[in-house]
Amino acid sequence: MEHVHLGRSGVRVSRLCLGTMNFGPVTAEADAHRIMDRALEHGINFFDTADVYGWKKGEGITENILGRWFAQGGRRREKVVLATKVYNDMGDWPNETRLSALHIRRACEDSLRRLRTDYIDIYQMHHIDRGSPWEEIWEAFEVLRFQGKVLYFGSSNFAGWHIARAQELARQRNFMGLVSEQSLYNLNARTVELEVVPACEAYGLGLIPWSPLGGGLLGGVLQKAAEGRRASEGLRRQVEANRPKIEAYEALCRDLGEEPANVALAWLLHNKVVTAPIIGPRTVEQLDGALRALEVKLTPEVLQRLHELFPGPGKPAPEAYAW
């Protein structure tokens, strides 16, 4: 397993990030523990979660699953670069959501308790909060950093100008600011190439793509349907809206002798700004299979063909839409 710096930080993480959103709602706890153990065996040291995962308000189901796994010992916690998130509703009262200093403080304490750890490696804002001033947010994060409860900070679902604003105000405070941005990014969703990717490159943020397989659209969905495996209604609608290019994509993957999911991950890893796509295996077997993506080499001809199938904006802004 290759390990690289997360953005301009000194911390080194694996080229694949283990996403835990399925742990609890889809994957039983015992199976989740086996997946995490196998991830360490493969050298995957980067785990991503969120206080809201588990989708029962205020319960932090997925964080609790990770916490019980850490509690088994064996230096599990020490081996993991742990990322979690703050922002979403964790209760019904006014200050149990978003990025006020009050909610940040309480949410961090709750995550630490559920995760059974005394520090979080990367604390990520799950979304931009237009109602909380950056002076308040950065001060709250500075306190957590001073207390040793958080080492690094990241964003998720930020626009390019949000990243720029956050970093410039952090610079004024002599604070490191963001080290990563977690964005929706895959072959079929390339909007971030307009401004988010350039902002990450300019400010030294590692880009962590979520939904790298487009919710299953890029994971061999037509092949799986031919084998009798049913897709969700939402995925079926996406397939019908994109059928010609998905057919061509899966045909290209067959010509390459590679699984579509691994080609999609390899394409992301080809981008120098991308640190680690988030994979969300539901089983140990799916985790094992994803490791192949690290070995897939895409030639310039294949990259061009993929660009023709999934063209994206073509260039960063403003060249994408102006001279």
Contact present, 165 and 132 (Cβ < 8 Å): no
Task: In whole angstroms, give the CA distance from residue 136 to residue 141.
Answer: 9
Count of alpha carbons within 13 angstroms of residue 170, beta-carbon side: 20
Catalytic site includes residue 53: yes
Contact present, 66 and 37 (Cβ < 8 Å): no
* Contacting residues for 213 by C-beta, under 8 A, at least 6 apart: 186, 219, 261, 264, 265
Active-site choice (53, 87, 123, 185): 53
Helix axes 101-115, 61-70, angle to 10 degrees: 40
Taking CA atoms, 200 is separated from 16, 130, 236, 238, in Å, by 18, 20, 33, 29
Taking CA atoms, 130 is separated from 96, 99, 117, 127, 243, in Å, by 16, 9, 30, 9, 38
Task: In whole angstroms, give the CA distance from residue 19 to residue 23.
Answer: 9
> CA angle, 212 as apex, 207 and 215 as ends, to 5°?
140
- Going 276 to 278 to 283 to 286, the CA torsion angle's sign is negative
Contact present, 219 and 261 (Cβ < 8 Å): yes
Where in the sequence numbering do the catalytic residues fall? 53
